[in-house]
Structure 1
Amino acid sequence: MKVVDVAARACLVEVEDAVAAAALAAWVRAVGLPAEEVVPAARTVLLDGVDPVAAREALRRWATDDVTRPAPLVRLPVHYSGPDLARVADHWGCTTREVVDLHTSLEFTSAFCGFAPGFAYLAGLPLERAVPRLASPRTRVAPGSVGLADTWCGVYPTASPGGWLLIGTTDAELWDVDRARPALLAPGTRVRFEAAR
């Protein structure tokens, strides 16, 4: 872990990967480190509105904090009939059934949100299962589409352009401003996909 001051009352914490960034952000929120904003990304967490000296002292406890607070788990039923399911199977050298079996066997972690409100970058796909993006993005991806790109998984909350490989769809409401927590898959959330019946 490396802490870099980026302003008088802000610091950027560099960590190993997206899962560590999500875990650190959840820990900072749970222990009540006074920060106006906690913004996880792929390998960093921005702490804005903090005293960098106090933040450094608190962060030293992160690795040794023995109080574990399990992140919430969200289960998403998926209809595995996406237009790129066969392409992913070919890339992995397996059957489409095996793609579904692997995808539903993994636990993902919402590392950070971006691109669109409610779009979570889900870490957890093994490096050897990384897939390329489409050479030319689609002009419209339907809401609820479940996609893969590189080692990320994501679910499109609204219709939008996109270049991820689409393996299925879910009916889950990813973004709802009337919920106490509008993003269903807020950073730190654990996610399991299940084949819809």
Structure 2
Amino acid sequence: MRIRPAGTHALLLDCTAPADIPEAVLVEAWRAELWRRREQGDLSAVEIVPAARTVLLDGLPDPAATADLLFRWTPAVTAAAAARAAATARDGTPAPDGIPAGAGGDTARAGDGGDTARGDETAHGDTARGGDTARGDTITGGGIAADGGGHGGEILVPVEFDGPDLPLVAEHWGVDVPAVLRRLTGTRFLVAFCGFAPGFPYLTGLPADLALPRLPTPRPRVPAGSVALAGPYAGIYPSASPGGWLLVGRTDLPLFDVDGDPPARLGPGTRVRLVAT
């Protein structure tokens, strides 16, 4: 891990991971630990913003002292990330019938939603700063908290799986469309970070070998609520915008309210399941 200054009152953690720890797992381990430390008073930071490979700490009264703390916490965070990666490798998420192991070999690194700008859904931290708070409480009017409140809640997102790109996803994965739906509804997703547009959640949970390329040419307009796939991520468009992700469905669940607290309904650290309607 590298720690770099980002202005006078911010630090950027570059979460370069050991070979046995996926970067997304290490980023999530840091996000969870930093939020925990802030809540118990060990860390003073106005914002903690995860991205694909980094975590930004902004509003630090003493960046040098914070950097010392980060170095002290690194062994424990790395150990926690390694344990989670090992547990995932050991237990995994059971694949629904019809998804063969190793399916989806047609992956495209250019579409993996990494830190490189592409002009559409680029994986930066939430530009609206809506990604600093997890929305784990009970949600009414669409989403449902499946197992209680707090950061541990799981949000059930109702989805009408009628996206125009479902056949293309099935082709890439080497399965039929019903098997794609079983995979998506059987996956327990986690919001890794928000980016591209205010409240746009990048959801991890799909196996790396099911990563998908973006469309060669982005659509000029993707409707609000569209559920989509690109690279290793699933995502949901909070508002209408151009976009190049593969569309698999749509939801009526509002994802961003500038007057809400927090504004982003699906913030980093929130567990999500897609439920067919």
- Kept after mapping to 2: 8 A contact 1:149/1:164: yes
Residue 49 of structure 1 is matched in structure 2 by 59
- What secondary structure is seen at the aligned counterpart in 2 of 1:12? strand
State the distance in 2 between where 1:94 and 1:3 align: 43
- What secondary structure is seen at the aligned counterpart in 1 of 2:32? helix
State the distance in 2 between where 1:6 and 1:143 align: 33
Residue 224 of structure 2 is matched in structure 1 by 143
Verify: 1:27 aligned to 2:33, yes or no: yes
- Kept after mapping to 1: 8 A contact 2:199/2:255: yes
Could you tell me how far 1:75 is from its partner in structure 2?
1.3
Larger relative contact order (Cα-Cα within 8 Å, sequence gap ≥ 6):
1
- Kept after mapping to 2: 8 A contact 1:22/1:110: no
Residue 40 of structure 1 is matched in structure 2 by 50
Following superposition of structure 1 onto structure 2, how do residues 71-82 of structure 1 map, counting pairs within 5 Å?
Answer: 71-82=152-163
Deviations 1:145-175 (A, max 9, x none): 1000111110011111111000111111111
Percent of aligned positions that are identical? 49
Q: Which has the higher strand share?
A: 1
State the distance in 2 between where 1:81 and 1:100 align: 10
Residue 122 of structure 2 is matched in structure 1 by none
Change (3 A) 1:63 1:123: farther
Residue 11 of structure 2 is matched in structure 1 by 11
1:154 alignment partner AA = G
- The partner residue of 1:153 within 210, 229, 234 is 234
- Kept after mapping to 1: 8 A contact 2:161/2:276: yes
2:66 alignment partner AA = A
Could you tell me how far 1:37 is from its partner in structure 2?
2.2
State the distance in 2 between where 1:70 and 1:179 align: 17
Deviations 1:56-80 (A, max 9, x none): 34333365379xx954321111111
- What secondary structure is seen at the aligned counterpart in 1 of 2:64? helix
Deviations 1:74-130 (A, max 9, x none): 111111110000110011000111101111121222122111111111122211101
Verify: 1:2 aligned to 2:8, yes or no: no
Could you tell me how far 1:180 is from its partner in structure 2?
1.5
Residue 76 of structure 2 is matched in structure 1 by 64
Structure 2: runs of 5+ lacking an equivalent: 18-22, 81-149
- What secondary structure is seen at the aligned counterpart in 2 of 1:28? helix
Change (3 A) 1:181 1:62: farther
Structure 1: runs of 5+ lacking an equivalent: none
- What secondary structure is seen at the aligned counterpart in 2 of 1:128? helix
- Kept after mapping to 2: 8 A contact 1:35/1:47: yes
State the distance in 1 between where 2:189 and 2:8 align: 35
State the distance in 2 between where 1:18 and 1:147 align: 19
Verify: 1:91 aligned to 2:172, yes or no: yes
Could you tell me how far 1:132 is from its partner in structure 2?
0.8
The alignment's TM-score, normalised by the length of structure 2, stands at: 0.65
State the distance in 2 between where 1:115 and 1:185 align: 14
State the distance in 1 between where 2:224 and 2:74 align: 37
